[in-house]
Homo-oligomer: A and B are copies of this chain.
Amino acid sequence: MSLGACPIPISDYPVVTMAHGGGGRLSRQLVERMFSAAFDNEWLREQHDGAVLPAEGTHPVMTTDSFVVSPIEFPGGDIGKLAVCGTVNDLAMCGAVPRYLTCALVIEEGLEMDALWRIISSMGETAKEAGVQIVTGDTKVVARGQADRLFVNTSGVGFVESRHAVRPSAIRPGDALIVSGDGGRHGVAILATREGLSFESAIETDCAPLHREARALVESDVEVHALRDLTRGGLATACVERASGSLRFRLDESSVPVREDVRGACEIFGLDPLYVANEGRFLAIVPEAQADQALDLIARHGPTDTEPRRIGTVDEAVRGGVILRSIAGSERPLDMLSGEQLPRIC
């Protein structure tokens, strides 16, 4: 952990107590020694109720996410990294450059102080990687049994600096569907940890900030019609949410990249990888003629452990929806799941 040891003396406070959330002396100590150390910036130093940010002439974009993932630490990440990436990615998917984050914690009394510090450190490091500052926050502590270890809310503000905002209403028949990398890794990593299963090598979450590749796309000549990060419900749900009205998405299952170990784990768990969550992959919808350029930009600016693929096209139909051409060659409609496939995956 590059930020060093826990700055709260864990001999005095091995776990978080109710008093750490009471708004008094211990609350202040937690904020000043731990959060300010990990997130250090001029706004936190001001110790105001909120952060007064520099004026910008462009559209602000605002987003929020609460994270309740269980367990709070897992291969390749933790709830803090997940929260920062999730909020950065929501902003990036709107075509914005992510800039400022808030961090609000609901902590169950008894959480190990050292675990809290690992997660706060991880948030600080991920924020740095993503080029954002955590400018204000809030901490509540509830009694044992009234929450499950730690819930994290991150809200974010970014600014649209490019020529055009990315809006789902821009999708047109003839557009190409592109996925930025391999599917299902986050969901499988969490589920394997939860079930105590280990595979030949641990499957790590794909959790990562997507600001670089998203920015490269929106600042290029590519007329980006939609961007959507793949979270709960995976690629299938992202497509169903965007295919509406008279837009029909045609997906080619054989083009969708899923790693062999992830596919094997999905078989064991009885899951369809198309519906399993990622936290560092996205769907891009661009005009057919610019698909190759978009693939090239994502490959150059995205993570090196995977590559983007063209997975289908948008066409016009009397009634919208998503049609999957399976590996076996048959066609079937994809829909949202009505139940809960994987609770507390993010």
Contact = CB atoms under 8 A, between A and B. Distances in A.
Interface in A111-158: 135-138, 140-143, 145-148, 151, 153, 155-158
Interface string A145-177: 111100101011110100001011100000000
A66 B168 contact: no
Given A22-B341, A146-B148, A233-B22, A61 B51 contact: yes
A1 interface: no
Given A65-B138, A104-B65, A148-B142, A237 B23 contact: yes
B341 A66 contact: no
| Copies of this chain, whole number | 2
A76 interface: no
Interface stretch (A86-94, A313-321, A323-331): A86-94
Interface of A is mostly: mixed
Contacts of A147: 68, 146-148, 151
A231 B23 contact: yes
A320 to B, nearest CB: 14
A83 B140 CA distance: 13
Contacts of A140: 66-68, 151, 344
